Amino acid sequence: MEFFIISMLNGLSYGLLLFMLSSGLTLIFSMMGVLNFAHASFYMIGAYFGYTLTSLIGFWPALIIAPFLVGGCGVIFERLTLRKVHKFGHVPELLVTFGLSYIVYELVQLIWGRTAVEFTPPELLKGSAFTLINNATTGLQLIWGAAPAEMCSAADAAVRIVCSPFPATRAFMMFVALLMLLSLWLLLTKTRIGLVIQAALTHPETVEALGHNVPRVFMLVFGAGTGLAGLAGVIGGSTFVTEPAMAATVGSVIFVVVVVGGMGSLSGAFLASVLIGVIQTFAIAFDYSFVSVAKDLGFQLSSNLQNNSFLKLTVSQVAPILPYLFLVLILIFRPKGLLGTREG
């Protein structure tokens, strides 16, 4: 039980981190029709900015300032390059961001080196948010913070006690993502600028005719989207590893999220990122393969079958490809994506 809860929470927090990234990507895509290939690069820049600023002014100010800096970079990039190729069509726009991902990868290596940097969360987030204690006699119990050692070790060896801590960084990640989701939703539906953005999504010419500067709205949305990626970068970088390869590891997954959720659908992106986060986290935790399951069920397999490399694969080994398999299946059975409305 406690395994299920902790894995579920881990999956949710990872999914919410994916959503922080894919929300910006979806917003930019649905607005400008540009799939920002370099979105994960902005995530990486966010992590590195966060790292540098943390050593200068501390983690909490860095958490606020780094996303704005990343958003500023996004605005500059949009203004200098993306807007220029807008007239050539969507493929050159995608190519520009593709080129940017190469440049950012190299620049990050140039400035911060090729190995991982030590970006750790502040003291407040280092421990565990809460601990689940499964005592064989007294049942499941929740304790905020780390559990004292005497509660996790039983005096009687016959009583089985399992302590499962949940890291505070993960909880913080969930908290920020949910806060962001809420504020994004409020911004888009309740404020004037949100209404202009929504209108510019579907009727850019009309919005322009009403006197709004649509290219500037695009620029701000691009900045906001990359800023969100930067925020995710500060949190993700301090929770996981901050290294030049971090953009590639998360990059292709967020594209899967966007396609699976339905191109340009924010709620679809939310559903898909949580789903993929949970599936991947659970898959890593399971160590079953066809061979082991067959053994548990009492089937006797021939030695040939037992050494078959396909049947020997455990679920945890398959975990990295699950998002992509999911993508292929979705495309076959529901080409629009989970909550998408249009077929690309």
Site residues (vs other proteins, CB under 8 A):
29, 33, 35, 81, 84-85, 88, 90-92, 94-96, 98-100, 102-103, 105-107, 109-111, 113-114, 248, 252, 255-256, 258-259, 263, 309-310, 313, 317-318, 320-321, 323-325, 327-328, 331-332, 335, 343-344
d(CA 127, CA 173): 14
- The residue (of 59 and 112) whose beta carbon lies closer to other proteins is 112
- The residue (of 169 and 273) whose beta carbon lies closer to other proteins is 273
- Grouping H, G, I as helix, E, B as strand and the rest as coil, residue 164 is strand
d(CA 296, CA 72): 56
Burial 155-193 (b: 16+ CB within 10 A, else e): eeeeeebebbbbbbbbbbbbebbeebbeebeeebeeeee
d(CA 226, CA 31): 14
Q: Confirm if 321 and 336 have CB atoms less than 8 A apart.
A: no
- The residue (of 108 and 221) whose beta carbon lies closer to other proteins is 108
| Minimum distance from residue 110 beta carbon to other proteins (Å) | 6
d(CA 126, CA 169): 7
d(CA 77, CA 54): 25
| Minimum distance from residue 306 beta carbon to other proteins (Å) | 15
- The residue (of 122 and 204) whose beta carbon lies closer to other proteins is 204
| Minimum distance from residue 207 beta carbon to other proteins (Å) | 23
| Minimum distance from residue 44 beta carbon to other proteins (Å) | 15
d(CA 56, CA 309): 51
| Minimum distance from residue 148 beta carbon to other proteins (Å) | 42
- The residue (of 172 and 255) whose beta carbon lies closer to other proteins is 255
- The residue (of 87 and 190) whose beta carbon lies closer to other proteins is 87
d(CA 245, CA 248): 5
- The residue (of 28 and 221) whose beta carbon lies closer to other proteins is 28
CA distances 299 to 25, 240, 295, 296, 314, Å, are 48, 41, 6, 8, 17
d(CA 221, CA 229): 12
| Minimum distance from residue 222 beta carbon to other proteins (Å) | 16
| Minimum distance from residue 217 beta carbon to other proteins (Å) | 21
What are the E-state strand segments in the chain? 128-135, 139-144, 161-167
